[in-house]
Amino acid sequence: MTDLILQEDPAPGVRLLRINRPEARNALNTPLRKALAAAFMQAVQEPELRAIVMTGDERAFVAGADLREFATMSTTDVARVDMRQTWGVIAACPLPVIAAIRGFALGGGLELAMHADIIIAGEGARLGQPEIGVGIMPGGGGTQRLVRAVGKFKAMQMLLTGQPVTGRVAFEMGLVSEVVEDAEVLPHALELAARIASLPPLAARKIKEVVLAGADAPLDTGIMLERRAFETLFDTTDKAEGMAAFLEKRPARFRGE
């Protein structure tokens, strides 16, 4: 694994991915995007992993795209890079993903965070889509995921002005799951990940799958998807163990089977 992504396993079943390009406030360039996609692909292939936490450093989660790379690109150049492939790998990750944000999460950084299932932000965090200020627009899903997260009118204000919001305002908008003191962002994210990792992973994956698949489907279709997934879990060992443990008043031992 390249040193652009620092990888740790701080708790059983939990993979921590630290974005590590501090000299550029973790700005996304092609090597970093490729390293991030590779880290997610690797994590998915490790059966013992049950949750992923991605973070940056104290100054920035990701401060945006690297404009030094973008400045000389033409339309054809951007098309050749095909950033959709990188984002697609992360979007398709079946494991629960938590983004832990301190400092800046701007442009591609906010788009990356919005690929997560849970976002923990610090009080001092700044989240935004400032692309309009340099003559472009979000290209990694920002216009679509932001609207789905906070609604048209709040999203339009952020997109059309380019102005970031604080972690507290982002929480009040529904853009992040929780806002905590800056020093508590990563510890709290890891605590949540460890909690998720202690629960039955097949159920967690099905929950994520159905929520994402049903989000843009008609309600009847979403309910049908939920029902089918619900039924499949009744043949799992974890279902038998979980219910037996509950009835016997003992801790459950989930094996992902």
Q: Which residues are identified as catalytic?
A: 111, 131
Task: Return the exposure string of 149-180: e unless at least 16 CB atoms fall within 10 Å of the residue's CB, then b.
Answer: bbeeebbeebbeeeebbbbebbbebebbbebb
| Nearest partner of 136 among 174, 83, 185, judged by Cα | 83
In contact, 179 and 170? CB cutoff 8 Å? yes
Neighbours of 227 (CB within 10 A): 11
C-alpha 225/C-alpha 203 separation (Å) is 14
* β-pair partners for 8: 16
Q: CA 220, 226, 227: angle at the middle one, nearest 5?
A: 90
| Nearest partner of 141 among 102, 178, 86, judged by Cα | 86
Q: CA 99, 102, 14: angle at the middle one, nearest 5?
A: 35
Q: Where are the alpha helices (DSSP H) in the chain?
A: 30-44, 67-70, 75-81, 83-91, 108-113, 142-150, 152-161, 167-173, 185-197, 201-214, 219-232, 237-248
C-alpha 228/C-alpha 146 separation (Å) is 29
